[in-house]
Amino acid sequence: MSEEKKPRSGFVAVVGRTNVGKSTLVNAAVGEKVAIVTPKPQTTRNVIRGIYNDERGQIIFMDTPGLHKPRTTMNERMVRQALDSVRSVDAVLWLLDATALWQNEEERLLAALREAGRPVVMAINQIDRLKNEGLVLPLIAELSKKAPGWEIYPMSALNKADLPGLLDLLFSLLPEGEPLFPLDVYTDQMERQLVAEIVREQLFARTREEVPHCAGVVVESFSEPKEEGGKVVIHCSILVERDSQKPIIIGRQGQNLKAIGVAARKEIQRLLGCAAELRLFVKVSPNWRDNPQILREMGMG
């Protein structure tokens, strides 16, 4: 008689340098858009939980801000959250970029992970961007020298076929236990936070250079529909640091802000499953990224 397998459940911190594909991977694993993804570095600003379930158990992924050189209080907190996350989890999924494997951030993370002492899977992501497959083996060899004994998994977060093998590895590192979150929950984020992130994603998509990095989004009000079939009305402030950034976001005759609003509203409606009205206001708030009170409001306290 075969013995019934006990479920495994636990927390997996997803860490790595900025822009390596952490949020892309968490979204792919969870099968829902949990975290916003952009081609620009420093997209994720908070630890975001994304929950995966199957018959083997539950993996609670903690998507974290990418490591980078911080220049503001906000960025220091982003990096701190990422480094702190590895201490309290059951396993760590460290994503590296196949096209730029090892930099200062990797050196720092290696030290932090050794100290944390949790089991680590080093996933070499973005292998689809390598010129040929023959380039993968040398990368594996390089990593196995840096961190002997840790699992190494080459993959592309854009390739669904690479996911099952990664999930197998992660489940093997988790303790036995019942799921910690209800099975129909895929993230711990409140609707307000999801809305702010959707607006921020459109800001990243429609502004250039330092502007999206200097901008933050706060949901000022969120009112439920008054009658059946009514609209949710959402007011959001977009904070920028300097007067000169305001017209860049607003655009000529308000066209850019309008486009941000239209694209974000579509996605918000999909998320909430009802009609939404989205009002965006751009405010200048000098040095908000060094303002502890504003950072707390944005969940970076």
Ligand X SMILES: Nc1nc2c(ncn2[C@@H]2O[C@H](COP(=O)(O)OP(=O)(O)OP(=O)(O)O)[C@@H](O)[C@H]2O)c(=O)[nH]1
Nearest to 201 by CA among 246, 252, 263: 263
Task: Tell me the C-alpha distance between 257 and 270, whole Å.
Answer: 20
Q: Which does 279 bind (CB under 5 to 8 A by kind): ligand X, Mg ion, none?
A: none
Q: Which does 157 bind (CB under 5 to 8 A by kind): ligand X, Mg ion, none?
A: ligand X
**What is the helix (H) or strand (E) element at residue 50, kind and residue range?**
strand 48-54
Q: Which of 129, 146, 258, 296 binds ligand X (CB under 6 A)?
A: 129
Nearest to 272 by CA among 217, 194, 218, 184: 194
**Which 8-state DSSP code applies to residue 66?**
P
Q: Which of 136, 140, 147, 158 binds ligand X (CB under 6 A)?
A: 158
Site for ligand X contains 156 (CB under 6 A): yes
DSSP-assigned beta bridge partners for residue 96? 124
The nearest distance, CB 56 to ligand X, in angstroms, is 24
The nearest distance, CB 84 to ligand X, in angstroms, is 16
Minimum CB distance to ligand X smaller for 21 or for 119? 21
Task: Tell me the C-alpha distance between 78 and 46, whole Å.
Answer: 7
The nearest distance, CB 300 to Mg ion, in angstroms, is 14
Residue nearest to ligand X (CB): 66
Sign of CA dihedral 112, 114, 118, 119: positive
Work out the widest C-alpha separation in the chain, in whole angstroms: 73
Task: Tell me the C-alpha distance between 181 and 257, whole Å.
Answer: 38
Minimum CB distance to ligand X smaller for 158 or for 167? 158
Q: Which of residues 38-77 bind Mg ion (CB under 5 A)?
A: 43-44
Nearest to 192 by CA among 297, 59, 42, 83: 297
Q: Which of residues 133-152 bind ligand X (CB under 6 A)?
A: none
Site for Mg ion contains 23 (CB under 5 A): yes
Task: Tell me the C-alpha distance between 166 and 155, whole Å.
Answer: 9
The nearest distance, CB 78 to Mg ion, in angstroms, is 10
- The pair of three-digit structure tokens given for residue 181, joined into one six-digit string: 């979150």
Q: Which of 115, 128, 168, 178 binds ligand X (CB under 6 A)?
A: 128
β-strands 91-97, 8-16 pairing: parallel
Site string for ligand X, 12-51 (x = CB under 6 A): ------xxxxxxx------------xxx-xxxx-------
Q: Which does 126 bind (CB under 5 to 8 A by kind): Mg ion, ligand X, none?
A: ligand X
The nearest distance, CB 192 to Mg ion, in angstroms, is 19
Minimum CB distance to ligand X smaller for 59 or for 155? 155
Render 135-202 in DSSP notation, one character per residue.
GHHHHHHHHHHHSTTSEEEE--TT-GGGHHHHHHHHHHHSPB---SS-TT--B---HHHHHHHHHHHH
Judged by CB under 5 A, which stretch of 16-24, 87-95, 210-218, 230-238 contacts Mg ion?
Answer: 16-24
Minimum CB distance to ligand X smaller for 41 or for 230? 41
Site for ligand X contains 57 (CB under 6 A): no
Q: Which of residues 62-91 bind ligand X (CB under 6 A)?
A: 65-66
How many residues of this chain interact with Mg ion, rule: CB under 5 A? 4
Task: Tell me the C-alpha distance between 206 and 50, whole Å.
Answer: 26
For ligand X, the binding residues (CB under 6 A) are: 18-24, 37-39, 41-44, 65-66, 125-126, 128-129, 156-158
For Mg ion, the binding residues (CB under 5 A) are: 22-23, 43-44
